[in-house]
Amino acid sequence: MIRLGSLAGYPFEGPRVLAGWTAPKVAAVFAIAYKPNPVAKSEEYGVVYVGHSEDLSSEGLPFNHAAAPCWLARVNGKRFELYIATYEAPGAEAPHREQITRELIAIYRPGCNPEQYDQAWEDHWIGDYQAPGTTGPLTTDRDPSGSR
């Protein structure tokens, strides 16, 4: 099990070697990863792609997926150096899986995902609020890196 995401993260099964892996017929979020430094940091993974599916077995995994050429380029064609981790979010429908996928893309910025998302927020997205005596101003930075 590996946790991906912010704070405590989501409990993903794996990572498992992608080559030889058989995709189950389940709805899940999945992450494709590799080990950037397998000798010095054997348990550290770099995320190269995040996706979600109503049925993993229909995604063309392991290597018939549309993004597979990008994954393989990251590891110089060495199929056994790619890993997959999956998260079957309990009770999650497609919109929730998509939200998890976008969150993970915003955090890890995987190079093989064509769309990238930003974690920052702007005042006009949530508007002003007032609740006299019950709350204070927001304390969260707009930019997750900590710069304002």
For 63-109, the pLDDT digits (tens) are 999 999 999 999 999 999 999 999 999 889 999 999 999 999 999 99
Mean pLDDT (whole number) for 138-145: 62
| Angle of CA points 93, 46, 80, to nearest 5° | 95
- 48: its two tokens: 């190269």
State the pLDDT at residue 128: 60
Residues 31-75: pLDDT tens digits?
999 999 888 888 899 999 999 999 999 999 999 999 999 999 999
Global confidence as pTM: 0.78
Local structure of 126: helix, strand or coil:
helix
State the pLDDT at residue 147: 57
